Amino acid sequence: MIMPPHKLKEKFPLKGEEFAKRAYDFALDPNRNSLKRILDGVQSYGETPPLLGIFNDIPWHQFREDEAQIWAKTGFSFVINDAEHCQIEGWYGKDQNRSLSRLGLLPVQRLPREALSSHGDAYQLGARATMKPYGTTFEEARDYFECINFPIPGKATAHNRGAYIRRLSDRTTTFTPESLLKAETETQGWIQFETAEYILNLDLRDRVLDLMQAQDKNKACGFVGPFDLVLREGEISDLDKSIDDLFRAATRREIHMGRVVGSGSLKDPKKIEDAMVRAIENGAKLITLHYLTSDLAEYGAISVSEPFFRASERCGF
């Protein structure tokens, strides 16, 4: 059962029973996409609750499942592993993706803008979604969706994903095209809207959104990262209004969108909350913190050390 948005807080922190259920669900179907199951499970698009995510800059070889369990426990639903900027250290493998999926966290593999066949390889390693950054043309979006999908037999395109066996819950394998296509149905493609071409050029923006809508239900998601847009174009008047308009345009097409909320200049928790409210009210569902996973240890340590410093100050030190 999907909790309505006003009930979300009652679900966290997660109890042991919920972790056991998530691990059980993963054991039954290791190819499942926990976030897509939530999106598919609501009665209507408008009932989809906001979902919390974070960008992960922890190198794959330093990843610890204990930390990921805390992320899940405190309400995160998806983790974007950043192999665009972290390169090979941000490319998560089978063991790391399995750990995230067992905890009910969707592993999203962000890849460099030039990547094509690497998206299919990421699914093979257990990512259930990949992220395409920095698009500026319609053709880039079209090629991306071709390369994350298996070909329709007899109708292959130049960029379609190559065939490779998948393992099912009992470790049997998909040695036929029919069994492979039946098993691998929950992967997603996330397009980043972070350039003037995709945010400010309304004709191109809408063509990309129409392409996303043409994918199967909840197979395409969008994500706004305005930092690159501002870096390329300079100060933009009414940028927030343009982003809100993008969210509304996506909502009309029932495409789930998200964005980073917060920045180096937006650190006040109340203002971040207000910005999240604005994004959600305009249709954004995939809300991501501006902090990275490697920041969480620092902020957790600050939180637990604060009583000591307050006590010391009260005693005159």
Strands 51-56 and 76-82, bridge-based pairing: parallel
Domain boundaries, the chain: 10-314
What is the C-alpha to C-alpha distance for residues 132 and 129, in angstroms, rounded to an integer? Answer: 10
What is the C-alpha to C-alpha distance for residues 55 and 65, in angstroms, rounded to an integer? Answer: 16
What is the C-alpha to C-alpha distance for residues 260 and 53, in angstroms, rounded to an integer? Answer: 9
Q: Is the pLDDT of residue 5 over 90?
A: no
| Topology annotation, domain 10-314 | TIM Barrel (3.20.20)
Q: Does the pTM of the predicted model rise above 0.85?
A: yes
pLDDT at 2: 43
AA letter at 225 = G
Backbone angles phi, psi at 259, to 5 degrees: -160, 160
pLDDT band at 267 (very low <50, low <70, confident <90, very high): confident
Q: Is the pLDDT of residue 102 over 60?
A: yes
Instruction: Count the helices and strands in the chain (H runs, E runs).
Output: 13, 8
Long-range pairs for 141-147 at CB < 8 Å and ≥24 separation? 141/191, 141/208, 141/211, 141/212, 142/211, 143/116, 144/116, 144/119, 144/189, 144/191, 145/189, 145/211, 145/212, 145/215, 145/220, 147/116, 147/117, 147/119, 147/120
Mean pLDDT for the chain overall: 93
DSSP state of 264: S
114-123: pLDDT as tens digits:
999 999 999 9
Question: What share of the chain in percent tops pLDDT 70?
Answer: 97
Cβ contacts of 140 within 8 Å, gap of 6 or more: 113, 132
Instruction: Report the pLDDT averaged over residues 126-133.
Output: 97
Instruction: Decide: 33 and 73 in contact? Cβ < 8 Å.
Output: no
Distance between alpha carbon 221 and the CA centroid of its chain, in Å?
8
pLDDT at 162: 87
pLDDT at 1: 37
pLDDT band at 7 (very low <50, low <70, confident <90, very high): low
Instruction: Report the pLDDT averaged over residues 158-171.
Output: 90
pLDDT at 3: 46
Q: Is the pLDDT of residue 262 over 70?
A: yes
AA letter at 301 = A
pLDDT at 75: 95
Instruction: Decide: 187 and 148 in contact? Cβ < 8 Å.
Output: yes
Question: Integer distance in angstroms from the first to the last C-alpha of the chain?
Answer: 52
19-75: pLDDT as tens digits:
999 999 999 999 999 999 999 999 889 899 999 999 999 999 999 999 999 999 999
DSSP state of 220: E
Q: Is the pLDDT of residue 238 over 50?
A: yes
Residue of higher predicted confidence among 228 and 295: 295
Q: State which H helix or E strand residue 181 sits in.
A: helix 177-183
Residue 68 token pair: 């990921």
Residue 263 token pair: 């920045």
Q: Vertex 102, ends 96 and 103: CA angle to 5°?
A: 95
Burial of 70 (0-12, 13-18, 19+ CB in 10 A): middle
Tokens 């298996």 locate to: 150
Nearest to residue 77, comparing CAs of 38, 110, 46, 44? 38
